[in-house]
Amino acid sequence: MAEYSEEQRKQLQDLLGKWRSKLRLDQWIVRVQWDRLPDSGEGTVLEIQPVEGRQFANLRVGTFFEQTQSQAENAACHEMFHLGFNQMDVVVEQMLEQLSPQMRELLRTLYHEQVERIVDWLALITAPMDELR
Ligand SMILES: [Zn+2]
């Protein structure tokens, strides 16, 4: 498990705070779980997991500190956009509960792929990465 310096912790917290504020999501509380790795596995930069029914989310750190400054900005912005989609995620999940298990899995995958594309797109417009300018 990686050890993070005070400087690194502050760097991430500051970026999350900056983008949470810019996206008008100040009502959300984001807790960094420094001792947990992302569930999504290798290559994940950051991973946010909102807690159901609350404006509270846990955030796990993957390769964040291997990113360039603009990639780090983009990653923090990306995760904050996910919070903006949380209510839609909840409603879609409720609709999926009505379906058969196979259909639910299929449509859940399709939905999350599409949300990921939209969030990537929004984050790229909002916090452009130098590498892709
Ligand atoms: Zn994402």
Residue 22, Cβ neighbours under 10 Å: how many?
14
DSSP, collapsed to helix, strand or coil, labels residue 99 as: coil
Domain locations along the chain: 6-128
Residues 35-81 pLDDT 10s = 999 998 888 999 999 999 999 999 999 999 999 999 999 999 999 99
Q: For residue 19, give the nearest of 52, 46, 37 by alpha carbon.
A: 46
Q: How far is the CA of 79 from the centre of ligand 1 (A)?
A: 6
Q: How far is the CA of 27 from the centre of ligand 1 (A)?
A: 20
Cβ 10 vs Cβ 16: under 8 Å: no
Annotate 17-64 with DSSP letters as a single string.
HHHHHHTT-TT-EEEEETT---TT-TT--EEEEEPTTSSEEEEEESSG
33 token code pair: 């779980």
Query: Using 50, 70 and 90 to split pLDDT, how confident is the model at 130?
Result: confident
Please tell me the predicted confidence (pLDDT) of residue 42: 84
Q: How far is the CA of 104 from the centre of ligand 1 (A)?
A: 20
Query: Domain 6-128 adopts which CATH fold?
Result: Zincin-like (3.30.2010)
Cβ 83 vs Cβ 57: under 8 Å: yes
**pLDDT at position 32 over 80:** yes
Q: How far is the CA of 84 from the centre of ligand 1 (A)?
A: 12
Interior angle at CA 87, CA 85 and CA 92, nearest 5: 95
Please tell me the predicted confidence (pLDDT) of residue 133: 64
Residues 86-119 pLDDT 10s = 999 999 999 999 999 999 999 999 999 999 999 9
Please tell me the predicted confidence (pLDDT) of residue 56: 97
Q: How far is the CA of 73 from the centre of ligand 1 (A)?
A: 14
- What pTM, to 2 d.p., does this model score? 0.93
Please tell me the predicted confidence (pLDDT) of residue 1: 62
**pLDDT at position 132 over 80:** no
